[in-house]
Structure 1
Amino acid sequence: MENEVGKSVDNQMDKYIVTIMGKSESQMDIVEKTTKSGKKPWSFVAIGLAVLLLLMTCAAVALVILYASSRGSYYGTNSGKICTTPGCVTAAARIIQNMDPTADPCKDFYQYACGGWLNRHVIPETSSRYSIFDILRDELEIILKGLIEQRDSLPLLEALRMVGDWPVASADWSKTKEPSWSMEENLSIMNSRFNKRVLIDMFVWNDDRDSSRHIIYIDQPSLGMPSRDYYFNGDNYQRVREAYLQFMITIAKMIREDKNMSKDDSFVQEEMAKVMEFETEIANATTPAEERHDVTLLYNKMTLAELQEEFSFNEFNWTFFIQRIMSSVNVQVDPEEEVVVYGMPYLQELKAIISKYSASTIQNYLIWRLVIDRISSLSRRFKDARASYRKALYGTTLEEARWRECVSYVNNNMENAVGAMYVRETFAGESKRMVRDLIEKIREVFVETLDELQWMDKASKEKAREKAMAIKEQIGYPDYILEDQNEKLDLEYANLNFSEHNYFENILENLRAGAQKSLKKLRERVDQDIWIIGAAVVNAFYSPNRNQIVFPAGILQPPFFSKHQPQALNFGGIGMVIGHEITHGFDDNGRNFDKDGNMLDWWSNFSALHFKEQSLCMVHQYGNYTWELAGGQNVSGISTLGENIADNGGVRQAYKAYLKWLEQEGKEPKLPGLNLSHKQLFFLNFAQVWCGSYRPEYASQSIKTDVHSPLKYRVMGSLQNFEAFSEVFHCKKGTAMHPAGKCRVW
């Protein structure tokens, strides 16, 4: 599902791990974190966090009545063919509240399934979107005990000195710093000390062609704004661009004032305008996401010596740059070190750009990119300074409560420590067994369905079967986090030095440790058993480098899963998620990797050609969806292709697995208050996990940056392609939900 080692987890997941749901806005705002990196000591967590408590959702009144009537019996009774257990009543109440029964399911199934939810929920002023996922994520967060001490800009000023200071806010920078300024030096400090990659994205990750080892990657960088479109397009993009520049100027002025420098507004405006011009050229040099879809074309392996010969600009020394980064973890590299270059077109453009700008402008940009990430960790006046930018970008008018920011940060950066607390408090151990059983049922269906595919030959089907059977699963949480006297868990945080009084410095310490934990992997073998995410996460993941699916404890709750709700809902919820993640192993990116996680072409020419033809159908289908909320822009059928293939395959496999379950176990009793068959309930719950709404500003952003289609079209697109849905809801051919033309890959 939700996109971020060597890179931040946000970045890593975007590039290497595919998800069922994109990152939430709070995750985007939170300081970059590293995969399994930069955690605080277990003792710090135990003192600093209260117990994580998962709140029960929906139908509380119905449950109270039911408990009273059943005289304390938890399971209630099944009278006749109506299920009256607490789990069934809770599920029925949730489904009824979310529905709009006045809508025609054959015209707009999303409105039918989610209309009630959309009417009852208003997007909070602190949020850019609000969905079932966001509600469940909110319920994972609790208030941290104690207060966080603020010391205004002092810790930030100390951090800036480590990376050569900020020219726009330094009276003598051109005299004292510029003569010895080194791009390699400053970029390496940003990377190794602050886990921040600017201008050049250098990180360590699994080698795509050899999943057992790590290798250095060189890629085009992220940008200050969400995507390159914000630097060129009009309408809302222009408003965001103007607010972004004003944000730059305001922060630069504030830092000058804090350093007791003379007020010179015109100088600051001129300098930051140059920074904006520089970043716009960098954005223009980056390759659009739509053109970076084929990982096999991105992968270019070469030695550092070859990299130096191919991409030399302004005497930039690649070996020195990378050695400076790796020396932070005592790893030596030489000119024969192999690297993988993903961003070839970008590096070819970078030389001309760098030559046009002064050292002070480039340094101003580097520092700005460091500062913007730290705003959330500073005092209120800094957050107030970005309010206009956030309003233009997200449509939000209020900041998150401080406690919520802190809880999100701790959960994102201390995954296993927090995960242990969450699991102890809320997670039923039996869920692991039940979900593992669902995985096997849906995997079995995926393999069986291969025989239905006319576009794939026998040899490729056999390879696909082998890969599907080799998919490893991780469910709930890593077992070791619950051990007593947990030395392994303590070791994850052993190299961190924190102070309970210095929140900002703790974050910097976390960034340093995260970067170092990632970088030192270069000389380590890949640990295939390590978890790529924490337990207290409402999401699910597939890693092509590991051929592995992951279902954290956080998503194993209603509406996705509960041992107390009908199996129709479990198959339509977590079953669909399981099918989605399995199918990611065979989408337009995952299909390039074999059963061992190596980028290897296992397809016959016949099957590869027809896969592309089948995929093109979905590219056109989703590319024709117009999203009015995003100013009438069309969904990108290319950028969202992988997720659309996974959605379509996931719901198809889960439904077929449910039919097999019915054959073996027999019909389930109906839910109270709902005159719907369980086949209909399967599709209803599938749709309802995607109930949600967006602000227009965020819609304009996500349509350019999110690899998932908008929530509505994830539901509509998948069901329009599935004949079984039309049969279950008796939709006539030619209606919106039963079009004559249908797309299918898996």
Structure 2
Amino acid sequence: MGKPESPAGAAETRGRCRRRRPGFLEWGLLLLLLLLTGALAALSLLYAHSGAIQGPQEDEMCTSPGCVIAAARILRNMDPSKDPCEDFYQHACGGWLRRHVVPETSSRYSVFDILRDELEVVLKGALEHTAARDRPAVQKAKTLYRSCMNESIIEERDSQPLLETLGRVGGWPVAMDEWTDTVGRHWELERQLAAMNAQFNRRVLIDLFIWNDDQNSSRHIIYIDQPTLGMPSREHYFQEGSNQKVREAYLQFMVSVATMLRADMSLPRDHRRVQEDMAQVLRLETQLANATAPQEERHDVTTLYHRMPVTELQDRFSLKGFNWTLFIQSVLSSVKIELLPDEEVVVYGIPYLQKLESIIDVFSARTMQNYLVWRLVQDRISSLSQRFKDARAKYRKVLYGKTTEEVRWRECVSYVNSNMESAAGSLYVRKAFSRDSKDVVGELIDKVRAVFVETLDELSWMDEASKRKAQEKAMSMKVQIGYPDYILDERSKHLDKEYSNLDFSEHLYFENGLQNLKASAQRSLKKLRKKVDQNLWIIGAAVVNAFYSPNRNQIVFPAGILQPPFFSKDQPQALNFGGIGMVIGHEITHGFDDNGRNFDEEGNMLDWWSNFSAQHFQEQSECMVHQYGNYSWDLAEQQNVNGLSTLGENIADNGGVRQAYKAYLKWRAEGGRDQQLPGLDLTFDQVFFLNYAQVWCGSYRPEFAVQSIKTDVHSPLKYRVLGSLQNLAAFSDAFHCARGTPMHPRVRCRVW
């Protein structure tokens, strides 16, 4: 639902009045209804003339506040002057795009972002509310929030907490004069990487983490993989054009921060030395970027997965004397876990490790230390005084197009929600989520899942044996809706225990952040010897998103997304199926996309496909790779969408809208009576597709468009709508699109 209901007391007071005038809200709704009716009269004439839209089916008219608001939203978002058969995205979202400008604080602005903004307003009120009997977890969340909002103390402390932290990690050579070659000779890469990982959750140079074993989903195992980089995309490091501007801004950001810290330590600025040191760091990171595999080459987990004993890891990747046992044991020692004599690891990044040896051999200990500490400093900038954020501003402007920092309270709410998601989720759910929505959404999930199973019979490219396995997997999919019950259970100690090792101070925001980093790292590392908890929530409740976990074969729908336009008990089912129904179908289909299909019903990596079905899956997927790869995005310097790296999400989008639509038709065929929206002379099918499209209304800054087309595994919002609906015959039928028009192409792609 996402919206608090009216206070009961107010309703009782109104009920005692025998005769009353319509209230302000009611007059407003009546006026809105009249305006809608007049506006839609002209719209109806246009559609009647074009033959594009049929009249409504015989169901009851809904004039409740929820329905009037939904009708107004759909109408305001549309641009009826655009032919739905030529460009349905513009037809559905043109009004929204015309009325919304990307805020100076944002790189993208969409329906999703607006819902997140509204969610943050709810959390702000909850975090700022003083309650005498808050449970310990909530008290800590509110303390963390207040420490973040305490700007005067953050400004007063300035760089002091960062300088103290740098002293504990061996110093930052570029910002000190005593880090000499003599110091470097006693420096151990293994221990430095371990400290970054275990103490600060910075997995630099080598990504070591604990996760479910792909081949045995009941246990955890150590993974070794290629790392993330300081900039979002590997292409930023070695392509020209806009990437060169990003690189230059990134280097200037590094130099500025190092120079500021030298001054704070009363050291000479020594601009030439700082510039040389950080240019060398950028050269190192450029070589690391070049060693990493592109995203599109890492889609097939079956080729990534290589399990081996640590002894074999040492033999195959000695990295000029790098001691893998020392590194891994140093990480595990932080949570008092001993490395077993026959300990196994899973290596994802073999090509990266093969190239890393020559890189380590080239760069000095000074450059390595400069790089490791830079990645920690870069991560902590948001916890420091304003002058450090100002030093970052140009880089963020070039990278994202942002010209202004986010307002402080939003930054703090987001930080608390990200780091204490269970505590924040409990506050959000109590304030804004209707508990009985869980059951309604559960019924929708059952309907969409049943349709997925039924439509397997339509697939000529899949043989019967593989269809049976797919059916078993779909029916075995575990579901989590809204929130875990324990976050609202005052008798349960589970929520408080989750944060029992945290001890925040209102005056020490920087140190509070370090506690969160360490707690996050240790929470993950401690899982190594524990059996996988299949009931564990992989995300918090106050999140506007949904998820599928292949290792758990689990779909998750947090409370944050269970609100209009996605879902409401008070809006017509055409909107619910076109909104959250599509999301449900999307997440179910992820279990059968180019990655999810490699896992069985238990979440184990297992090839359950016949050769016939596997070969034809690839052929069906190739059609989609080609389709999306031909979309040229003008906002991203005319670059084409990467059809391979976005394949999984495109498969899920296509399957999701198809299943949701079929589930809606089935619901109606079984006697479900939907409600017409006032003033909208549209069929229920058309309302379904309009709500589906309008969920994806959004605008990008050009700078962010250039970046996201390289890094985002989702297609741009516009092409998520166009691509999926061009492939769906039911859409062109609903809007009477002639064959050969853009929305009724002669060639269509379908996987599921």
> Normalising by structure 2, what TM-score?
0.89
Give me the CA root mean square deviation: 1.8
Secondary structure of residue in 2 paired with 1:82: coil
Give the 3 Å change call, closer, same or farther, for CA 342–99 of structure 1 in structure 2: same
Secondary structure of residue in 2 paired with 1:474: strand
Aligned counterpart, 2:687: 681
Cα offsets for 1:504-539 (capped at 9, x unmatched):
000000111111110010000000001001101000
Counterpart of 2:321 (choices 288, 294, 315) is 315
Residue pairs, 1:37-436, within 5 angstroms: 65-66=28-29, 81-142=60-121, 143=124, 145=128, 146=146, 147-148=149-150, 149-150=153-154, 151-174=157-180, 177-436=183-442
Secondary structure of residue in 2 paired with 1:523: coil
Q: Verify the 8 A CA contact 1:690 1:715 in the aligned structure 2.
A: yes
The AA in structure 2 aligned to 1:503 is Y
Cα offsets for 1:435-458 (capped at 9, x unmatched):
000000000000000000000000
The AA in structure 2 aligned to 1:171 is D
The alpha carbon displacement at 1:80 in A equals 8.2
Counterpart of 1:696 (choices 698, 702, 706) is 702
Could you tell me how far apart the structure 1 residues matched to 2:27 and 2:483 are? 32
The alpha carbon displacement at 1:195 in A equals 0.5
Cα offsets for 1:316-363 (capped at 9, x unmatched):
100000000000001000452100000000000001011111100111
The alpha carbon displacement at 1:470 in A equals 0.1
Could you tell me how far apart the structure 2 residues matched to 1:687 and 1:106 are? 14
The AA in structure 1 aligned to 2:232 is P
Q: Verify the 8 A CA contact 1:53 1:422 in the aligned structure 2.
A: no
Could you tell me how far apart the structure 1 residues matched to 2:26 and 2:724 are? 33
Could you tell me how far apart the structure 2 residues matched to 1:579 and 1:129 are? 25
Could you tell me how far apart the structure 2 residues matched to 1:609 and 1:739 are? 25
Q: Does 1:447 align with 2:453?
A: yes
Greater displacement, 155-164 / 292-301: 155-164
The AA in structure 1 aligned to 2:751 is V
Cα offsets for 1:24-82 (capped at 9, x unmatched):
xxxxxxxxxxxxxxxxxxxxxxxxxxxx97799xxx99765238999xxxxxxxx9843
The AA in structure 1 aligned to 2:597 is R
Could you tell me how far apart the structure 2 residues matched to 1:115 and 1:414 are? 38
Could you tell me how far apart the structure 2 residues matched to 1:177 and 1:334 are? 32
> Normalising by structure 1, what TM-score?
0.90
Residue pairs, 1:430-579, within 5 angstroms: 430-579=436-585
Aligned counterpart, 2:625: 619
Cα offsets for 1:156-202 (capped at 9, x unmatched):
11111121110111111115631210000100000000000000000
Aligned counterpart, 1:724: 730
The AA in structure 1 aligned to 2:551 is N
Could you tell me how far apart the structure 1 residues matched to 2:449 and 2:491 are? 37
Cα offsets for 1:633-653 (capped at 9, x unmatched):
000000000000000000000
Counterpart of 2:721 (choices 711, 715, 722) is 715
Q: Verify the 8 A CA contact 1:185 1:321 in the aligned structure 2.
A: yes
Q: Verify the 8 A CA contact 2:59 2:676 in the aligned structure 1.
A: no
Could you tell me how far apart the structure 1 residues matched to 2:656 and 2:528 are? 35
Q: Verify the 8 A CA contact 2:83 2:91 in the aligned structure 1.
A: yes
The alpha carbon displacement at 1:485 in A equals 3.8
Cα offsets for 1:126-168 (capped at 9, x unmatched):
0000000000001111345454230111111111112111011
Gaps of 5+ in 2: 7-22, 34-57, 129-145
Q: Verify the 8 A CA contact 1:455 1:611 in the aligned structure 2.
A: yes
Give the 3 Å change call, closer, same or farther, for CA 694–330 of structure 1 in structure 2: same
Cα offsets for 1:79-102 (capped at 9, x unmatched):
984321111101001101111011
Give the 3 Å change call, closer, same or farther, for CA 64–229 of structure 1 in structure 2: farther
Secondary structure of residue in 2 paired with 1:392: helix
Greater displacement, 158-167 / 620-629: 158-167
Q: Percent of aligned pairs with the same residue? A: 68
The AA in structure 2 aligned to 1:472 is K
The alpha carbon displacement at 1:606 in A equals 0.4
Could you tell me how far apart the structure 1 residues matched to 2:181 and 2:229 are? 29
Q: Verify the 8 A CA contact 2:329 2:339 in the aligned structure 1.
A: yes
Give the 3 Å change call, closer, same or farther, for CA 67–517 of structure 1 in structure 2: farther
Larger Rg over CA atoms: 2
Could you tell me how far apart the structure 1 residues matched to 2:59 and 2:448 are? 30
Could you tell me how far apart the structure 2 residues matched to 1:182 and 1:216 are? 22
